Amino acid sequence: MSEIAGQLRAQPTPAIPRADRLADMGRAAAAGQEGALEKLLRALAPDMLRILRAVLGPRQGGIDELLRQSVLVFVSAIAQLPDDGAVSTAALVIAFRQALAVRGRWPGSGLEAGAAAVPEPFPELEHRRAVIADLLLTLPPPQAEALGLRAVVGLTVDEIARATGVGAITVRGRLRVAKESLDAALARDPALRALVHLEPAA
Amino acid sequence: MIAARIHPEDLIDQAKHGALRTDQERLLKSHLDGCAACRFELSLAPALYQSIELRAQDQAVIARAIANVSRAPRHDGRGKLGRKTASALTLLVSLLAGVAMASAGAYLWQRHNAAPVGEPASEGVPTAPAR
């Protein structure tokens, strides 16, 4: 566990210059500059697709259409986004909400034909992803959204508060309830606890 | 009664950005010792989506989504119009202005050629025979 904290402390913060670049691209796209929107979408769409796959799983069908919808929603919202460099966060939140809405409608369905036989290249990651994705399906929507924006999208409490239009205290309350469910899910899954070294230090 | 557990979300955020002071790190560690949910969250840091590998065919999925948007009409909420739309609107406004001017001219011509005011309009009105 101290290894986790140590690794985190040692992490560089390469996201900041990228966020600045994306904010500039967002301003240019909102101003209607030639080619700016396409450039912005080329930068953001891969992460939007990662969000969809993180929530829906690697073999969920219909991702093509879902990404197209997510991109369209983002484009229609771009002129209304605050000029605070949050263009990337907005795109990720839109993709997450699209995925969450679909996950409620297609629980466990929509798999590509024959895809279940393909071995997963990263079973540990897939195991962790599935724990979160299952919780998103079983938690009440406000808690599911808070947990997903935290664990899948990686937003801070304040960012979640801004994205969901509620106060930071409400977000903390929703996360607390969601983490109780996460705790229970982990307790039922000793393989996962061992897999990611979740057992408490002796 | 068991007190609700408080999760140090702010410390976790700072840990994700590598900005923990030594005392904060100690506090976070003591929480993590008893909280599997927060340990799990940190194991996903900075975010689960960043660990998701895209497949070779995903580049085509992305290209299709972007191409679709560049073909779709844009609604950017700032009243910007396409060149064709602006031309069509200009033509329509010119046409309406022409129709309005023609109507006004016709009305003035009709008034100019109408009977003078005050002339008796006796035609067609029945009158009683004089005795």
Q: Is the pLDDT of residue B70 over 60?
A: yes
Contact A183 B72 (CB under 8 A): no
pLDDT for the residue numbered A161? 96
Residue of chain B whose alpha carbon sits nearest to that of A187: B36
Sign of the CA dihedral running B93, B95, B98, B99? negative
- Chain A: residue nearest B13 by CA? A156
Closest in B33, B49, B58 to A201, CB measured: B33
Which residue, among B78, B48, B44, B71, has the nearest Cα to A41 in the 3D structure? Answer: B71
Q: Is A120 in a helix, a strand, or coil?
A: coil
Cis, peptide link before residue B46, omega less than 30° from 0: yes
Mean pLDDT of chain A: 83
Chain B, nearest residue to A7 by Cα: B18
Which chain A residues are Cβ-neighbours of B16 within 8 angstroms? 8, 11, 154
Which chain B residue shows the shortest CA-CA distance from A181?
B37
Q: Which amino acid is at B60?
A: A
The predicted pLDDT at position A177 comes to 95
Contacts of A151 in chain B (CB under 8 A): 41, 44, 47-48
**For residue A60, what pLDDT band results from cuts at 50, 70 and 90?**
confident
Chosen from A2, A49, A127, A192 to mutate, greatest number of chain B CBs within 10 A: A49
Beta bridge partners of A60: A111
- Tell me the Ramachandran region of residue A114: left when phi exceeds 0, alpha when psi lies from -120 to 50, beta otherwise: left
Note the Cα A135 to chain centre separation in Å. Answer: 14
pTM of the model: 0.73
Tokens of A121: 């290249």
Indicate if the pLDDT at residue A22 is higher than 70: yes
Is the pLDDT at A70 greater than 80? The verdict is yes
Q: What is the pLDDT of residue B72?
A: 54
Can you tell me the distance from the alpha carbon of A177 to that of A143, in angstroms, rounded to the nearest whole number? 7
| pLDDT exceeds 80 at position A199 | no
| pLDDT higher than 50, residue B131 | no
* pLDDT category of residue B12 using cuts at 50, 70 and 90: very high
Q: What is the ipTM of this complex?
A: 0.81
Higher-confidence residue of A199 and B90: namely B90
Taking the mean position of all CA atoms in its chain, how far away is CA B20?
A: 40
pLDDT tens-place string over residues B36-60: 899 999 988 889 999 999 988 899 9
Between A33 and A146, the higher pLDDT residue:
A146
| Residue of B45, B64, B80 with shortest CB distance to A32 | B80
Mutate to test the interface with A, among B23, B27, B66 (most CBs of A within 10 A): B66
**Distance from B46 to chain A by nearest Cα, in Å?**
6
Q: At residue A202, does pLDDT exceed 90? A: no
Q: How far apart are CA A163 and CA A179, in angstroms?
A: 20
Give chain B's mean pLDDT. Answer: 77
What token pair was written down for A85? 């460099």
Q: Which residue has the tokens 């009243």?
A: B79
Answer whether B16's CB lies under 8 Å from B45's CB: yes
**Of the listed ranges A4-8, A35-39, A96-100, A146-150, the one predicted with least confidence:** A4-8
Q: State the Cα–Cα distance between residues B78 and B80, nearest whole angstrom.
A: 6
Q: Lowest mean pLDDT: which of A98-102, B15-19, B31-35, B115-119? A: B115-119
pLDDT for the residue A92: 96
Q: For residue A85, what pLDDT is reported?
A: 63
* pLDDT bracket for residue A112 (50, 70, 90): very low
C-alpha dist (Å) from residue A82 to A15, A78, A181 = 19, 9, 34
Q: How far is CA A192 from CA A25, A129, B16, B44, in A?
A: 40, 11, 22, 13
pLDDT tens per residue across span A166-188: 999 999 999 999 999 999 999 88
